[in-house]
Amino acid sequence: MIDVSNLTKHYGPVTAIRDVSFSVAPGEIVGFLGPNGAGKSTTMRILSCFLPATSGTARVAGYDVFKDSMEVRRRIGYLPENVPLYGEMRVAPYLDFVAEVKGVPRAERTRRVAEAMERCLVTEVQHRLIATLSKGYRQRVGLAQAIVNDPHVLILDEPTIGLDPRQITEIRSLIKSLAGDHTVILSTHILPEVSMLCGGVIIINRGSVVAQGTIDRLVDEFFPTSRVLVQVAVPAAAVREGLAAVPGVVAVHEQGVPGDGTWLVESPRGRDLRGEIFQLAAQRKWPLVELRRVGATLEEVFIRIVAGEDTAAPGPGRDGEGAA
Amino acid sequence: MKVWPIFKKEMRLYFTSPVAWVVLAVFLAIMGFFFWSIFDYFGRLSMQAAMQPMMGRDLNVTDGVMRPLFSNFSVILLLITPLLTMRLFSEERRSGTIELLLTYPVRDGAVLVGKYLAALALYGVMLALTLLYPAIVLYFARLEWGPLATGYLGLLLLGGTFLAVGILASSVTENQIIASITAFGILLALWIMGWAAESVGGTWGRVISSVSILEHFDTFSRGILDTKDVVYYLNAIALALFLTLRSLEARRWKG
Ligand SMILES: Nc1ncnc2c1ncn2[C@@H]1O[C@H](COP(=O)(O)OP(=O)(O)OP(=O)(O)O)[C@@H](O)[C@H]1O
Ligand SMILES: [Mg+2]
């Protein structure tokens, strides 16, 4: 449904994205992640036909965003990052205008607008001036304008930013309900949201895609070990040596405040060392306070990928150093 | 072409903001004042003429009332039309709404035409309201229809050109004030050319005066309909709108 290959965009001297390639299957909800300034909004602006790319191609719903821009635009709903709306218009007439511009037939317009308002929970403010709405309501009106023509593809740039916890849940269930007959690409900084909503993720850093796939696959890829958290109430050095000597241990890291006695023990995937560690503690008479397995979350994957990139890989404009 | 929804939206925005109402009121008040003062002047002049029959022969309503009146109108237009167009693209860019508008399935050209027609329609309404003044005159005196009709057609074309230049200025900046001052500057420059033409004289003088925006208006106010002048204004409008389209396109590339 969305096919991006070798997309590059320069803003004057600034390279916002470089050689970005990914694809999103029909009916999928994909999370688009990356630190601030990574190029998420830029990519989405290209996908929504607002900005032309410097080079590379992007196809949405089978059409090229540059050559067949009108066909693409008919099939997408776009919510820009800062949710630009006409403050001097009222909600319902505004949505009616959007539906008309998007080509919803006159006979269906009233129904479609009412439906979009209902789904985005803005029916009760439909007669208000948009300028007088709170941030959360503006966000929802923005979402309503994106879905009012029931587009195949939704491009949502941080759709849940600025919403209260209850609204976030409601909007998430709305987005979730769109899966199946809609393809959604959404950017966000709230990673649990991605775990909740998205089948796949695309992680972009400094303008390049650094990882993509399902969350499970990324966890496997970036955390190839099983991990056990151990807390004992005795001095540090002896414990580290003891744990490291357990057969099967790959690495031991100190967790939390140094001297706290909390350790993270890594072993090859699938190998559970809790029994051995318990035995060891019993033998040495270490008071064992906590012993549990920890799974990797998307946060950890994200931080590992982005931090790893920042230290290991060359940043923009320093290409030569990577090989040295 | 989805011109109609854009047109409706712009009209709605015009009348929900106070700017259109203020401009309309000020325009009508100033026009009314000019109308009154010129008629008053002409009235006194013709009274004198009645006493001195030698002078009366040259006096007629067209030259005495209509020409000065329309020339005053054109000055007011110069000041007021940039206020009608300054918002059209600048505000969309400032508030970011252009990002949504230009991702809807509507061509840039249709957006432009919708906006331009909305400005033109508002201006048309303003102009139609000033017909009230000739109607009042008609009640007291005989009026010549020819010059009145060509004069209003001229005003429509002149105003249409001013609006097209204004929309061009609005497409290059996100600041409404800068947009209106730029439009005013361009129009003033095109106008002053007319004076320069006189002092330059010769071939160059003729070239300059053929470009000058007001030179072409004079024939309309004298009751003459010359296709050359109509074509001049239509060309000027087309050129300004074409440049606006190019400027929108250039903005897209710059991001
Ligand atoms: N109009 C512009 N002119 C110049 N540079 C720009 C422009 N827009 C974005 N950039 C630059 O392009 C890069 C990518 O920006 P982008 O907005 O795509 O990041 P993002 O991933 O959306 O970040 P955030 O998480 O903060 O929203 C940044 O370095 C930014 O400074
Ligand atoms: Mg962004």
Distance from the B244 Cα atom to the nearest Cα atom in chain A, whole angstroms:
18
Residue A39 Cβ < 6 Å to ligand 1? yes
Residue nearest to atom 16 of ligand 1 (CA): A39
Q: Does pLDDT of A324 surpass 60?
A: no
Ligand 1, atom nearest to A9 Cα: 12
Range B156-178 average pLDDT:
94
Whole-number pLDDT of residue A175:
87
3-class DSSP state for residue B204? helix
Whole-number pLDDT of residue A320:
34
CA distance A235 to A241: 11
Range B187-196 average pLDDT:
81
Whole-number pLDDT of residue A32:
92
Interval A267-318: pLDDT, tens: 887 778 888 888 888 888 888 888 888 777 777 778 877 777 666 544 443 3
Q: Does pLDDT of B136 surpass 80?
A: no
Judging contacts by C-beta atoms under 8 Å, the chain A residues touching residue B99 are: 45, 50, 80, 84
Closest alpha carbon to A61 in A11, A27, A14: A27
Whole-number pLDDT of residue A317:
39
Residues 187-216 of chain A with CB under 8 A from chain B are none
Q: How far is CA B109 from CA A197, B6, B116, in A?
A: 39, 11, 10
Which range scores top for mean pLDDT: A173-187, A288-302, B128-142?
A173-187
Tell me if chain B has a CB within 8 Å of the CB of A82: yes
Judging contacts by C-beta atoms under 8 Å, the chain B residues touching residue A48 are: 103
Who has greater pLDDT, A232 or B82?
A: B82
Judging contacts by C-beta atoms under 8 Å, the chain B residues touching residue A70 are: 105, 107
Range A51-76 average pLDDT:
92
Whole-number pLDDT of residue A22:
93
**Closest chain B residue by Cα to residue A129:** B16
Q: Does pLDDT of A8 surpass 90?
A: yes
Q: How far is CA A201 from CA A58, A142, A211, B65, in A?
A: 18, 23, 8, 75
* Spatial contact of B14 and B118, defined as CB atoms under 8 Å apart: yes
The ligand with the least distance to the CA atom of A36 is 1
Range A249-274 average pLDDT:
80
- A37 Cα–ligand 2 center, Å: 7
Burial class from Cβ neighbours inside 10 Å (0-12, 13-18, 19+) for residue A246 reads middle
Q: Does pLDDT of A147 surpass 70?
A: yes
Mutating to test ligand 1, I would choose from A9, A40, A82 the residue with most ligand atoms within 8 A of its C-beta, which is A40
Q: How far does chain B reach from its first CA to its final CA, in angstroms?
A: 25
Q: How confident is the model at residue B210 (pLDDT cuts 50, 70, 90)?
A: confident
Radius of gyration over every alpha carbon of chain A, rounded to an integer in angstroms: 24
Whole-number pLDDT of residue B62:
64
Whole-number pLDDT of residue A311:
60
Least confidently predicted of A36-50, A303-317, B233-247:
A303-317
3-class DSSP state for residue B96? coil
Residue A37 Cβ < 6 Å to ligand 1? yes
Question: Do B104 and A93 count as a contact with CB atoms less than 8 A apart?
Answer: no
Q: Does pLDDT of B71 surpass 90?
A: no
Share the mean pLDDT of chain B.
84
Chain B contact probe: residue of A65, A86, A139 with most B CBs at under 10 A? A86
- A13 Cα–ligand 1 center, Å: 13
A182 has which bridge partners?
A179
Phi, psi of A290 (to 5 degrees): -150, 145
Range B55-73 average pLDDT:
68
Question: Do B106 and A101 count as a contact with CB atoms less than 8 A apart?
Answer: yes
* Spatial contact of A162 and A139, defined as CB atoms under 8 Å apart: yes
Question: Do B6 and A101 count as a contact with CB atoms less than 8 A apart?
Answer: yes
Residue nearest to atom 26 of ligand 1 (CA): A36
Range A176-198 average pLDDT:
86
ipTM of the complex: 0.85
- A15 Cα–ligand 1 center, Å: 9
Interval A81-126: pLDDT, tens: 999 999 999 999 999 999 999 999 999 999 999 999 998 889 999 9
Residue with tokens 């096919």: A3
* Structural domains present in chain A: 2-219 (3.40.50.300), 225-294 (3.30.70.100)
Who has greater pLDDT, A316 or B169?
A: B169
Ligand 2 (ion): which residues have CB within 5 A? A 40-41, 81
Closest alpha carbon to B78 in B239, B248, B217, B255: B217
Ligand 1, atom nearest to B255 Cα: 1
Percent of chain B whose predicted confidence (pLDDT) is above 70: 91
3-class DSSP state for residue B221? helix
* Spatial contact of B78 and B184, defined as CB atoms under 8 Å apart: yes
Closest alpha carbon to A91 in A153, A150, A139, A48: A139
Share the mean pLDDT of chain A.
85
Who has greater pLDDT, B248 or A266?
A: B248
Who has greater pLDDT, A69 or B207?
A: A69
Judging contacts by C-beta atoms under 8 Å, the chain B residues touching residue A145 are: 100
Judging contacts by C-beta atoms under 8 Å, the chain B residues touching residue A152 are: none
Judging contacts by C-beta atoms under 8 Å, the chain A residues touching residue B18 are: none
Q: Does pLDDT of B30 surpass 70?
A: yes
* Spatial contact of A75 and A151, defined as CB atoms under 8 Å apart: yes
Percent of chain B whose predicted confidence (pLDDT) is above 90: 40
Distance from the A320 Cα atom to the nearest Cα atom in chain B, whole angstroms:
29
Q: Does pLDDT of A323 surpass 70?
A: no
Distance from the A109 Cα atom to the nearest Cα atom in chain B, whole angstroms:
13
